[in-house]
A and B are shown apart, each in its own frame.
Chain A
Amino acid sequence: MTATTTAPVAAPDVRTPARRPSPRLRAWATRAPLLPALVFMIAVTQLPFVATLVISFFDWNSLYPDARSFTGLANYGEVLSDADLRKSVWTTVLLTVAVVLASLILGLALALLLDRRFRGRGLVRTLLIAPFLVVPVAAALLWKHVLYNPEYGLLNGLLHYVGGPQPDWISDTPLLAVEASLVWQWTPFMMLILLAGLQSRDQQQIEAARVDGASDWQIFRHLTLPHLRRYLELGALLGSIYIVQNFDAVFTLTSGGLGTANLPYTVYQSFYQAHENGLASAAGVLVVIGSIIIATFALRVVSSLFREEVSRA
């Protein structure tokens, strides 16, 4: 790809140089279309993060702006030793791992079901995608009021028919309640990525294995699963990146109460309600460090899939 497009750039050198701009000018002409987007991204995403980093070294409560002072790493010490904040780190990990794993397994099962031919497959696919296309706040409200409500929610309504118990879902199992609503929204996402993976399998290879007498399980275990590995990784990593940042479900379902406050909610709360700018920034930087660890792996997976695509093209 690169080779084919750089060739014509070198070719015009045989023509009269006077009518052609200098190579340096032409290099900038090639770069020019890229610059607005690059400058925009750096200005809007990188600069604020640098500011966050700086603020995180200050003791700064916006209610007492005059008492602002440099404290070095004290905010980090406070964040890491604060019981509530430490708990929110743990909650974030628990929430992310549980939601990603559950939606990945469910998504894989659904993708395998949808990879087969059956009547109405297109419609079933559409039904399954729908939860992902409900506005997140609306989905959280739907679960909070319409499904989980202990008195008239649908879950207890259905349990009523079979004479089951009538639990108060959010109060009894707050974190699980948040996780279930997120799994409902994210399973379609995993399903779509894994379905794309299943459909990119080498059908001839599978046919050949079948002719050689391999069972469905053997084909799944030794051909499908290894092929899907990178799609599973990609789903897990992208899911983690989105769910680590989740704010909507925690904010709507429990307002961060009952031990469900994750880091994004805690950051939001510590500057929006407690006005602790320095602490909020330190917590924000910690979220970034966590994300960078996930992102490093994510970038590696995306780039290996990407290089495969480029070399195939």
Chain B
Amino acid sequence: MNAIRRNGLGLVAWLAGVVFFLPIAWMALTSFHSEEDAATNPPSFAAALTLDGYREFFGAGGGASPWPSLINSAVASVASTLLVLLLALPAAYALSIRPVKKWTDVLFFFLSTKMLPVVAGLLPIYLFAKNTDLLDNIWLLVVLYTSMNLPIAVWMMQSFLAEVPVAVIEAARVDGAKLPVILARVVAPIALPGIAATSLICFIFSWNELLFARVLTGVVAETAPVFLTGFITSQGLFLAKVCAASLVISLPVLAAGFAAQDKLVQGLSLGAVK
């Protein structure tokens, strides 16, 4: 009886997993179908496979090439993640290993900025960009994405650095080790996996962002999500192409997300859950 119930619930879990994954699986399958096979009712599950959808997406049919937007997204995500690390690492150090007075208050200040909605500052940022010729400039997005991710990064890194035992650092200091040596030999090995996960999560959020990119970029600095919005009002036969596009553009996020799986909860809950 118990065994049947256990297996039964396992089966339910499998079923739920399949149902949730079905839209993605269907998207992947459709991306390899021809446009004619993609738009049938009932759906053609066993239609012949082709790479035409991907060729179309990458501009074979004369449409706009997605490469500039992919490169823009990569620049914005990677550069802002590096900037986040540069600012968050010292800050996290001053909030954990050698904490300032009232360090919890500072930590909560960072968190509260994350709760300020994007639309709260969108208009002044737009007006500022317009008056300083920064509209359609990818580096403006780099700065904004850094501010978007910095609170998350500070929280996560604070919790990772706090795991470094203070006694070990003290021992190294007593032995005459200088700060850079302590950071490289004692702190880094313990905190590195956490720092890597933090970077991946920052990368995901920057890559996904639409509102800032939509308002502040146009032709030159268009990012991948903005490129995707071009499909919103598409008509006619384009399903295979839109599936290929969605999949290719989601691929970096899926890869980063699965790589950071274990630390994902901690990042998403701003370090509150371990």
Q: Separation in Å of the A283 CB from the closest CB of chain B?
A: 8
Please tell me if the beta carbons of B17 and A124 are within 8 angstroms of each other in the complex. Answer: yes
Please provide the chain B residues from 209 to 256 with a CB less than 8 Å away from any CB of chain A in the complex.
Answer: 210-211, 214-215, 224-225, 228-229, 231-232, 234, 238-239, 242-243, 245-247, 249-250, 253-254
Q: Is the CB of B118 within 8 A of A145?
A: no
Given contacts A160-B41, A295-B115, is CB(A135)–CB(B249) below 8 Å?
yes
Q: How many residues of B contact A (CB 8 A)?
A: 108
Q: Are B13 and A118 in contact (CB under 8 A)?
A: yes
Q: Taking the nearest CB of chain B, how far is it from the CB of A251, in angstroms?
A: 7
Complex contacts, B215 vs chain A, CB 8 Å = 268, 272
Residue A151 is within 8 A (CB to CB) of chain B in the complex = yes
Q: Tell me, yes or no, whether B81 is within 8 Å of chain A by CB.
A: no
With beta carbons under 8 angstroms apart, the residue of B116, B126, B258, B264 that contacts A271 is B126
For B215, the closest partner residue in chain A by CB is: A272
Once bound together, how far apart are the Cα atoms of A141 and B246, in whole Å? 8
> Are A133 and B27 within 8 A (Cβ)?
no
Q: Does B177 contact A (CB under 8 A)?
A: no
B residues less than 8 Å from A138 (CB atoms): 225, 228, 245-247, 249-250
Nearest-Cβ distance from residue A129 to partner chain B, whole angstroms: 7
Q: A34-B95, A130-B24 are in contact. Are A123 and B100 (CB under 8 A)?
A: no
B232 touches A252 (CB 8 A): yes
Q: Are A5 and B99 in contact (CB under 8 A)?
A: yes
- In the complex, are the beta carbons of B273 and A197 less than 8 A apart? yes
When distances are taken between beta carbons in the complex, the residues of chain A under 8 Å from B122 are 48, 267-268, 271, 284
Q: A143, B16: Cβ atoms under 8 Å?
A: no
Binding site for B on A (CB under 8 A): 1-2, 4-5, 8, 27, 30-34, 36-38, 40-41, 44-49, 51-52, 55, 109-110, 113-114, 116, 118-121, 123-139, 141-147, 151-154, 156-158, 160-161, 184, 187-189, 192-193, 195-197, 200, 231, 234, 238, 241, 244-245, 247-248, 251-252, 255, 263-264, 267-268, 271-272, 277, 280-281, 283-285, 287-288, 291-292, 294-295, 298-299, 301-303, 305-306, 309, 313
State the B residues within 8 Å of A (CB). Answer: 6-7, 9-10, 12-14, 16-18, 20-21, 23-24, 26-27, 30, 38-43, 87-88, 90-91, 93-95, 97-101, 103-104, 106, 108-128, 143-144, 146-147, 150-151, 154, 159, 162, 166, 170, 173, 204, 207-208, 210-211, 214-215, 224-225, 228-229, 231-232, 234, 238-239, 242-243, 245-247, 249-250, 253-254, 257-258, 261, 264-265, 268-274
